[in-house]
Structure 1
């Protein structure tokens, strides 16, 4: 547990303070386009005034659909300054998905640009095109401010739902402020000097990438994807990269990491030890972090600095203001070393799922371990174990747990041991071949060539019970990935034979 209580400045307040301190410093850059802190702040204030005239204010969702230029950051800040909550719409998303997100969120305002206006033809309410309307927006007189309070919504991020219907995670200002407060304590201005922002605004890693550098005088270096890092670093010496292990593995397969990168944050899936050591092996990367957290707990909940030579990266300890519980099926803490479901509590918890009270009540439960009235905890659906050191070891999704011949198995634990092998870049373990009594474990491994199954079995057998050693190993040049860079288990081929 790592809990403290104090009210941190809100996201846009942090940026405003920095703009007052370093107005002429570069705030945001994308190729040849750039904005200083003064330009960013003045533009965001002008947009905020315009949005307030159109009805934006506290608890008002506003859609944001823009390309990855400095004006994307202007739009997000403008919405926050207007007191409203931003609802990111990735221009690459299908039009029907964007229309669903707008209608489900209740957004009656959308900030976009002419290039994407046609894709928002079904949007309810008013559409503001920054490129078409900017001269008029900039000429308007300031509108009276109705800034948000800590308990107001800051943003709504849509995540995939098990029923196929996306669900909007509603995050309040105080949760985002607490997260940023932690980040500014743990990451130095030197590390954040040129932070790569390559994550879609629709995913919560973007909250770190945009606001942490802007709150301490750094430059947000916008890029379409992490694969554009070499191009971005040719213009500005990128110092921090924040991404998913799978994507970074693919990037490193095509070339070395720029020598300017000092710190690498990895989150979203299990971190292979070989990747961490490859990063340290550059001789220029100083810190590799393994971070864990669902959108429902404001980006990151736990973290660890991966030691050099580490054989199994851990997800570490809770960030400041967060508590983590490992519980059994009855909601009781399990002994250290035993697997249980991970529950999160504290300052980072989201308000819940927008307009989904039933689902909110199902996942956000009363916290029996807190003495604070009304305290809640979030059921992550992830399995973990707490080590005697107090650090947490991630074991995979609870809903991916399988039974083979009556024995309960966590595929994530097997995958973690496979990833200790230097020749394996990615791994996925699934049960194939019928019901629980006849199924066998199949390990899909991404590697160059075909590793000797006998060597892999021996490696696993030295670490795991025999019933957890897969009977079949399927080598692949690359494992299929989802759009977010995670392994797409449903797209794995049926093993031969």
Structure 2
């Protein structure tokens, strides 16, 4: 996958190669709308030309806010071809968050559509409306993605383009969203692993149902396009049955909780051969349920933060796995389990996961202090300037070398002076045959009255005495919740985290 001597190609170059090799192949579909690779390249090149004339170029940021049609992919590719970086904005985001993202990123250009134009009234960004302005865009000189004289050639500072590719905003512990800035070389290194790991058959029709504001979308869009496959756009994973009625979806890439909810009402289409699950703990019961279709051949448990370009570790999960591990690092990534002093933890011991290697992001946009806090020097690498990202996730290395995820370090609670990771309790709860989802919190009336409460989505009239016995067989007694609250669903925030404020107080 070399893009020249000693470097990875840029993201849009991967797509351009496939367009040159098979221009008439189907690149993107959304219902009855479709674009071939040639049409995708032509439209993206025309948009890139327009954006260049409006000032887009290396290290400039362009907002992209569009519905889930093939033009969403045109917009992202057009921004990349122009040499700029895209900042995805979900049309469903509240106005306050959108305003912050545009202001914080400094995006002076915004690609959108007329139906959403009212959201940008009064804002200073120059708006390019694809449907209203398309005649003007198409009439202009297209841009191929090549450098102008004087622009830095990608790869001059190392193996791959150091140009910024995209900025994704994630929730911050202080309440202020932070923009994760990812360069082309990091994303291309990740895709190099993806093309090694996934076959063209698996990527042939890849469901893209994740908002482009979240890092799973990088895999869903660029892995199939780099492999010559088809991106099957859908509003959510719950639209999979409809999408699969038009195209035989072969790969689904989503989070376990969403797939659980889907399977409660709809079976997986028989065309699906590979299921990727990421973003939260993977219950073994879900793995068995997916394999029980008889048509799914591979289930992967994938782990990784946006700060390390989507996926950092992977595991091919067997049909009879008791507790799926998060596996081993992807190609080009290093993983260290370190204690509070930054020293390696013996195998089997619990420590914080530090990630290094080719996939690391540049850092947090405009926040050098936070970048320095989370991206620290790598004492284990001989490469000058090498860094490690502190994930804040607790793991242990299993005897075979794979990593086992235990929970978040910053979710740690104390009950009667004993430290507990709620994620570990949640994982065991979801191994119970009657429980499909769980969230564990420390609740109490006072500082000394904290106790664990288990919020559970369960089948029928579950006998919680049997649940307690089940937990006591697997956990120390102090980790067994004192109270259980049945709920119809575990409420989630827009970023997929448990919405603690929406959970009822226990009686």
TM-score range, shorter chain: over 0.9
Residue 201 of structure 2 aligns to a residue whose secondary structure is helix
Distance 2:239 2:502 in 1: 26
Cα 1:314–1:490 shift into 2, 3 Å:
farther
Corresponding residue of 2:216? 205
**C-alpha deviation, 1:476, in angstroms:** 2.1
**Distance across 1 between alignment mates of 2:192 and 2:363:** 21
Partner of 2:26: 26
Q: How does 1:209-224 map to 2 (within 5 A)?
A: 209-224=220-235
Task: Determine the C-alpha separation between the residues in 2 that align with 1:275 and 1:10.
Answer: 36
- SS in structure 1 opposite 2:202? helix
| TM-fit CA distance, 1:307 | 0.6
Alignment match, 2:476? 465
Q: Secondary structure at the match of 2:224?
A: helix
* 1:482 positional shift: 1.8
Shift of 1:95: 2.2
Distance 1:6 1:474 in 2: 57
CA contact (8 A) 1:428 1:489 kept: no
2:47–2:142 CA contact under 8 A, matched in 1: no
The correspondence for 2:359, drawn from 348, 366, 369, is 348
The DSSP-based 3-state class of the residue aligned with 1:446 is strand
Q: For residues 37-436 of structure 1, what are the structure 2 equivalents within 5 Å? A: 37-142=37-142, 145-146=146-147, 149=154, 150-434=161-445
Asked whether 1:487 is paired with 2:498, we answer yes
Aligned residues of 2:81 and 2:143 also touching (Cα < 8 A)? no
CA distance in 1, matches of 2:43, 2:36: 10
Count of paired positions: 492
Question: Could you say what secondary structure the match of 2:38 adopts?
Answer: helix
Matches of 1:370 and 1:121, distance apart in 2: 50
Question: In 2 relative to 1, CA 103–122 (structure 1 residues): closer, same or farther, beyond 3 Å?
Answer: farther
Contact 1:450 1:475 in 2 (8 A): no
In structure 1, distance between residues paired with 2:143 and 2:460: 64
Alignment partners' CA distance in 1, 2:284 and 2:235: 27
SS in structure 1 of the partner of residue 299 of structure 2: strand
- Residue 259 of structure 1 aligns to a residue in which SS? coil
Distance in 2 of aligned mates of 1:445 and 1:324 = 33
Q: Structure 1: where are the runs of 5+ without partners? A: none
Give me the whole-angstrom Cα distance separating, in 2, the residues matched to 1:445 and 1:414.
12
Residue segments in structure 2 that go unaligned for 5+ positions in a row: 155-160
SS at match of 2:264: helix
Say which is worse superposed, 89-98 or 140-149, in terms of deviation. Answer: 140-149
- 8 Å CA contact 2:163, 2:183 repeated in 1: yes
110-119 vs 484-493, which moves further: 484-493
Instruction: State how far apart, in whole Å, the 1-side matches of 2:230 and 2:89 are.
Output: 23
Q: Given the two structures, how large is their TM-score scaled by the length of structure 2?
A: 0.95
Alpha-carbon contact 1:277-1:309 (below 8 Å) kept: yes
Deviations 1:324-347 (A, max 9, x none): 111111111111111111111111
Find the aligned partners of 2:256 and 2:348 in 1 and give their Cα distance: 26
Contact 2:45 2:143 in 1 (8 A): no
| Structure 1 residue 463, shift from structure 2 partner | 1.7
- What whole-Å deviation, never above 9, does each CA across 1:25-52 have from its counterpart, x for those lacking one? 1000000000000000111111111111
Change (3 A) 1:464 1:143: closer
Classify the secondary structure of the residue corresponding to 2:173. coil
- Closer, same or farther: CA 114–191 of 1 in aligned 2, 3 Å: same
Q: How much does 1:6 deviate? A: 5.9
Deviation at 1:128, TM superposition (A): 0.5
Task: Give yes or no for contact 2:353–2:395 (8 Å, CA) kept in 1.
Answer: yes
Question: Could you state the TM-score of these two structures normalised by the residue count of structure 1?
Answer: 0.96
Indicate conservation of the 8 Å contact 1:345/1:378, yes or no.
yes
- 1:160-186: CA deviation from partner (whole Å, max 9, x where unpaired): 112221111000010000011010100
Distance in 2 of aligned mates of 1:481 and 1:126? 34
Q: What is the CA distance between 1:457 and its match in structure 2?
A: 1.8
Query: Could you give the per-residue CA deviations for residues 256-287 of structure 1, whole angstroms, max 9, x where no partner exists?
Result: 11111111111111111111110000101111
The Cα shift of 1:435 comes to 5.4
Aligned equivalents of 1:323, 1:493: Cα separation in 2: 41
Distance in 1, Cα, partners of 2:122 & 2:460: 49
The CA distance in 1 between the partners of 2:447 and 2:201, in whole Å, is 53
Q: Classify the secondary structure of the residue corresponding to 2:231.
A: strand
Q: Is the 8 A contact 2:171 2:495 kept in 1?
A: no
RMSD, aligned α-carbons: 1.5
Q: Any idea what SS the aligned residue of 1:189 has?
A: coil
Q: Distance in 2 between matches of 1:443 and 1:310?
A: 24
